[in-house]
Amino acid sequence: MGISAKEVKELREKTGAGMMDCKKALQECDGVFEKAVDYLRTKGLAAAQKKQGRIAAEGVIGSYIHMNNKIGVLVEVNCETDFVAKNPDFKEFAHDLAMHVAAADPKFVKADEMDQNFRNKEAEIYAAQLKEQGKPDNIIPKIVEGKLNKLAEEVCLYNQKFVKNPDQKISDLVNELTLKIGEKISIRRFMKFTVGEGMEKRQDNLADEIAQMTKK
């Protein structure tokens, strides 16, 4: 079937994929736009994963200071070349990531980097709760493992939902940027600074505050 240049252009703007890849995706999916998007994401994820084996030693330090000047974040985002480190999209990602950390308050970068003592303590608490609820001993370990996986979505940066778009996880954003730029992109570390007392009480509302700011 014939695929128009307008359709290819719209798909490219939606996914960031190349023109020829977009045309092929539309042809493979009989011109159905949403199927073509899914097709490119499937292919793109595989390509992005291949790039993750490369060495990324360049990059930038993204920063964000909340409007009350009492919360600040620094985050190191790496790429392969200094050329990409100067890319506006790469810099914007680093800034958005720092803003996300301010709002979502992750504890670790990835699930496999979760502190073992932290993990063990949470597992003990979950097991004690389940035993108190009368759950059979033989199924408690499996339930605990499921709860730990759920915990990773809350405390590990890569697993968290992006505060500006909860439909995407941070790992999705990394993969998309990897495909768009053509280099390995990785988040190495972050640091959050909080000044003054009572900031813990404000944390619950911080994500909402930032969301409102981005809509203006």
Query: Length of the chain in residues, anyone?
Result: 216
Q: Residue 197 pLDDT more than 50?
A: no
Residues of the chain with pLDDT > 70, as a percent, come to: 80
Instruction: Note the pLDDT of residue 201.
Output: 54
pLDDT confidence of residue 207: 67
CATH architecture of 115-153: Orthogonal Bundle (1.10)
Tokens 């810099």 -> residue? 91
- Is the separation of the CB atoms in 21 and 6 below 8 Å? no
- Dihedral sign for Cα 110, 112, 118, 124, please: positive
Q: Whole-angstrom Cα distance, residue 171 to residue 129?
A: 31
Instruction: Give pTM, 2 decimals.
Output: 0.65
pLDDT digits (tens, 9 = 90+) for 18-38: 677 788 888 888 888 888 888
Strand partners, 68: none
Q: Inform me whether the pLDDT recorded for 70 exceeds 60.
A: yes
pLDDT in tens, 54-66: 667 789 999 999 8
Domain ranges of the chain: 5-51, 58-110+156-215, 115-153
The CATH code belonging to domain 5-51 is 1.10.8.10
pLDDT of residue 195: 80
Q: Which CATH superfamily is domain 58-110+156-215 in?
A: Elongation factor Ts, dimerisation domain (3.30.479.20)
Q: What is the mean pLDDT of the chain?
A: 84
Closest listed residue to residue 206, CA positions, set 19, 108, 71: 71
- Per-residue pLDDT at 206: 64
